[in-house]
Every structure is written in structure tokens, then in C-alpha cells.
Structure 1
């Protein structure tokens, strides 16, 4: 049985990455529109309704419009935009967290944001286990390669050459679009204080959550947090909790060009402080790799097929 796939917005950065992971795979057939009809409303509507699974790589409003154009109960959707990440009726496309069976059976799947993936992977299991209180005031510091800004930012950085900024912070208005899903899918009372930045490398990401363990209720040691994460992700082909590591090698490009997610717990010698750290590729597990992982489950295929592991 062949599953037909239509990528709406397939000419964008994420869409192209997804297409690479699906190319020439048995059991999958990609529906494509000729360039001159790519933005034709009637052609898009036809493709959206002909496909078994649609992957939306569109701005939020365009993604909502695309969903409204689907007029049959058969077509299933993976939305890579922010539009549906906390929407009722949508399954969050993080199989390790939401459950593989839920994703496999879903008709509507929202693909996680890149920063959100790192934060939620670290925090949600520890909240569920009771190590982080739901109402604890969390902060999150993160850096991403400039490909996270799409074609426009890629062009800006690459045209600037040596004049490109080495590091730039942003979202100083404290309203980053990933914060609602970070809060919702970790079950937090308060939104985390999120501090994102862009660095002068094409791809890669580090997401960090510092914890003042000595000020938190209960007695928690870094080794316990690491063991909890390790148990939670046991058997995952994508997520690894790293035991032995050299902190000096934890560069933002650590997992560039892969679909893996590496998690770390660093602790102070007295156990009073910890740094939870996630390393991923913002275009891999942070975007295209996550979409393909969910698509595999929805199509009844092995979870890791086509992924760069």
C-alpha cells in the first residue's frame, strides 16, 4: 500500500528538508504541483484533498487556510507552523512525549517548534515525575543557527560574509511564539522566561534550562534527574541521554545535519545547581526530522525510516 504525501509550502527551508527525507522511499509517493500552479488555489485544494497525508510548511494564517480547504475526512495533516500547537483536537507531534500510538492514529498533528523541542524534552518528564514543581519559575536560554529564520535570514547572513554578527539576541518583548507550547506541554503554571539568540552558523541548536536545586522543594541531585530522563526516553531511536561527555565539546553544531536529540544534565559539585541541556539540529528534530518521524508513524512505517541518525 502506498501513502501519498503533499507538502504545501515545499519550496521553503523546512519543506525542502522534508522532501529530502522522503525521496525514493518505498511505500511513499509525493504529490507535486508544477511551479506555475504552486500558488493556484484550485490546484492546491485538489492536492490537499487527494493526499493521504498533507504536511504544511506555511505561515500560520496560510496553514489555517489550508486546513479549511480540506473537505474530506480521509486526509490527515501535519502542520509545521505555530498555528495549531496548542489547539484542541490536535495531537502534539512529539511521539516520545505524546505517545507513539496517539500520533499514529491522529488525523491532525502539530509539529513542535525547534526551541520548544529542547525545552519540553528536558522539562516535561521532570515535571511529570514531580522533580520540577508545576509552578516553579523556569528560565530557558537557547541559541540557534541562522537557518531557523528561513530563506530570508539565510540570505542575509550569507550575503554579509565576515560582517555577519557572531551572536544576536532577540524576542526582547518576551512574546516569542514558542512560549505557549512550552508552557502547555510541560503543564506549567507560568510561562518560562525565554532568552533565544541566533549565532553565525547555518544549523544547530543548544537549549538550556538552569535549575537552583538547593532552593527547590525536596531533595534532588543531578544524577537522579539524569536517570529519570534516561528511563523516560529508553528505547527511543532519536533521543539519547548522554552519560559520559566532555563539556568542552558541547558546541551548537554538535548535531547539525542529524535528526537526533541529545540531552545532558550538568551538576555542581555540591549538587545545589544543575544545568539541563539539549542539543539538536533546528532543521532536524527541530523541524523536518520531527515531521518525518510523525509521518512514519501515521503511515504505519518504522519510526526512524528516512531519518538521519
Structure 2
């Protein structure tokens, strides 16, 4: 069987990557709008109507407008924007979050794709909170660095022209758009301090959670809780720190849909850092969207990933 998919906003970074992943698949037919009519609401509505699933790769307000445009159509939607990530009427498209999440995604009409930083942070936090190794009201800090492709066309152009700095920290006002979804999807009740940064590399990401240790929260306990939660998962791997070495590289899983989590530190020193490495354009964006699409259509979850 062949399914029809419309990528609304396919000219953007995420849209292009989704299109490239789907193009050539015998089970997917891409619905496209004439470039001359891509801002024509009627042309877009016709594309929505012709699709089994539409993937929105748009700014937040445009994504809300797109949902309204096709509200009366049977088209199922995956939204890659931030617009619906904390909306209780949308299913959060993180298949590995809980045992029943795949079933919820499979039957959903509306799926919100996780953010890139959020994917790494939630992948670390959710199992540790569920295991009682982190308390929901604990004071936490999340540090992260991403490739510049996550900043969209303007930031990509700045780096490719050589005008951008080698590294910069941002989000210093603590208003980053990913914080609400991190809290909602992990059960955190106390807002974490979030310190994101951008490095001079196109794609790749490392999300770090530093923790103090005690007799209940040891390096081994953290590793075991994460490994148990993700046992048997295709796209999240928990690795012993000694297998990684002294340097952890944010670009290690570029071009894949993989998240690799590892626990580093020393029980005697009483400190640890849990790190998730992923491709911000893979499992952090287009890869997750295609994974969710496959689940919604009842196809192999790993197709084109």
C-alpha cells in the first residue's frame, strides 16, 4: 500500500531532510504544492486533503494556522514546531518515553514532534525521575551544545559566511522555548536552569545533566535505571562511559536517528554527568518525524532511518 504525505514547509532545513528521507520509498507518495502557489491557502488545503499524513515544518504561528486550515479534513498531522508540544490534545511523539507511547502515536490524529534539546534532556530525565533517582522538585541545571543548523537559515548563513563566533551561549534569560515541554514530559515541578550553546559545526548535539551523588544515587544506579528503561529500543542506546573515552563528541551520531546516553563521573568524588548525544537534525527533528510517521502508518519504525 502507498500512503500520501504532504510536507508543509519542505523548503526549510527540517522539511528538506524529511523529504530526502522519504523520497524514493515505494510506500510513500509525496504531495507537493506548485512553488508559485506555496503561500496560497487553497493550494495548501488541497494538498492537505490529498494527504494521509501532513508534516508541518513551519514557525509556530504558521503551524497553528495550518492546523486551522485543515481542521475539518481527515488528514493526520505531525507538527515539528513548538506550537503544540504542551497541548494535552496532541500526542507527544517520543516513542521511547513510556511502554504505551508507540500505541498512542499509532492511533493519534495529531502528533507533536519533540524539540532537539528536549529529546536529549527528556531521554535522560524521564527514566531517572520514574526510578526515584531524581526528585521532581530537585534543583537541576541542564547544559547543552548544538550545531548551528538548529538555528535555521539565518544562523546557517552567518556561520557559512564566516561571520559567526566559534562558540556562543544563549538563552540566558531562562525563557527558552524547550523548557515547558521538558518539564511537562518528565514531571519536573521545579524549573531547571537551562544553558544552551552553539558551536561551529553544522549538526550534532550533546545535552548534559550534572548531578551530585549519594548512597542511593550512584554511577551504577543511574546507568542501570537508564539501561532498563531503554532495553530493546532501536534508537536510544545506553553505553558505559569507559567505552566512550575521555572525550565525548557532539557530532558522533550525525546522519542517524540514534541517541546515545552515558553516565560519567566518580562515586568517591560524589559527582556525575549524564550525557545524551544525538543529531539535532536526526532524532532531534527530521528523523523523529519520520519515525513517528512510520508508527502512525503501521510501517517498520526504522524505515528510511
TM-score range, shorter chain: over 0.9
Residue 300 of structure 2 corresponds to: 302
Shift of 1:219: 1.2
Counterpart in 2 of 1:274? 272
Contact 1:49 1:72 in 2 (8 A): no
Give the match for residue 78 of structure 2: 78
How far apart are 1:203 and its partner, in Å?
Answer: 0.5
8 Å Cα contact 1:142/1:206 also seen in 2: yes
**Aligned match of 1:110:** 112
Deviations 1:12-65 (A, max 9, x none): 000000011111112111101121011111101111122110000000000000
Partner of 1:193: 193
Q: Which residue of 1 aligns with 2:178?
A: 178
Whether 2:233 is the aligned partner of 1:231: answer no
2:149 corresponds in structure 1 to 147
Counterpart for residue 290 of structure 2: 292
Aligned CA distance change for structure 1 residues 283 and 170 (closer, same or farther; 3 Å): same
**Number of residue pairs aligned between Structure 1 and Structure 2:** 302
5+ residue gaps, structure 2, are none
* Divergent runs of 4+, >4 A: none
TM-score (normalizing by structure 1): 0.95
Say if 1:265 and 1:277, in contact at 8 Å, map to a contact too.
yes
Q: Distance in 2 between matches of 1:49 and 1:71?
A: 10
Query: Which SS does the other structure have where 2:96 is aligned?
Result: helix
Q: Is the 8 A contact 1:222 1:271 kept in 2?
A: no
Structure 1 unpaired stretches of 5+: none
Q: Secondary structure in 2 aligned to 1:54?
A: strand
Secondary structure of the residue that 1:248 maps to in structure 2?
coil
Over the aligned positions, Cα root-mean-square deviation in angstroms equals: 1.2
Question: Which residue of structure 1 lines up, in the alignment, with residue 102 of structure 2?
Answer: 100
TM-score by length of 2: 0.96
Deviations 1:92-129 (A, max 9, x none): 01000151111111110000000000000000011111
Determine the C-alpha separation between the residues in 2 that align with 1:257 and 1:249. 20
